[in-house]
Amino acid sequence: MGLLMRKKYGIVLVDSPNNLPLDCMIRRVFTSSRGDECMLLCPVDTPVQILKSTNFDGWSAVNDEEVEAIIPAATYALAKIHMHLVYSGFCYTARGGFCYSEEDIIEFRTALKVISPQGALAPKIGE
């Protein structure tokens, strides 16, 4: 992992194997118990994880081969809410602002229940 300083807002971490950057802002600078100067970094963009429904067990991570096939759909889904999918160093991130209220968030459906944006169980549509 390489570090590249940027004066504007923070630091860019570079993932050495693929040479991709991850823009980070410096949240805190502190001294460790050993006396080392340390920084707490936070990605500028929102890290995202792509999951798929297993229909029975809920959700599971998508393997690398499956991600390539899903990227166009994920990009489109984010574009609909004015965000961009970015393959940053270390992870995928979503760039842009959330421009909708909590009431507009899509409900996630599982085989047994619907989870509302507030995390409470809601009746399935049509029940």
Give the residues across from 51 on adjacent strands: 61
For 28-56, the pLDDT digits (tens) are 999 999 999 998 988 989 888 888 888 87
Helix (H) or strand (E) holding 72: helix 64-79
Q: Which of the four pLDDT bands, split at 50, 70 and 90, describes residue 2? A: low
Task: Measure the CA angle with vertex 98, ends 96 and 99; round to 5°.
Answer: 110
Reported as a pLDDT band with limits 50, 70 and 90, residue 63 is: confident
Summarize the confidence of residues 94-120 as an average pLDDT: 55
Please report, for residues 23, 72, 94, 97, 99, the alpha-carbon distance to residue 81 in angstroms, rounded to integers and kept in the order given: 22, 15, 11, 8, 7
Residue 113 pLDDT exceeds 60: no
Provide mean pLDDT across the span 21-25: 88
Query: Tell me, what's the pLDDT at 107?
Result: 52
70-105 pLDDT, tens digit per residue, is: 999 999 988 888 889 998 878 889 998 765 555 555
Per-residue pLDDT for 122 more than 70? no
User: Residue type for 30, please?
Assistant: F
DSSP state of 63: P
Closest by alpha carbon to 45, among 99, 98, 118, 110? 98
Residue given tokens 């991600």 in the structure block: 67
Report how far residue 14's alpha carbon sits from residue 94's, in angstroms, rounded to the nearest whole number: 18
Locate 110 and state its tokens.
């599982």
In this structure, what token pair is assigned to residue 94?
């979503």
Q: Which residues pair with 101 in a beta bridge?
A: none
Which pLDDT score is estimated for 38?
Answer: 92
Mean per-residue pLDDT for 2-22? Answer: 77
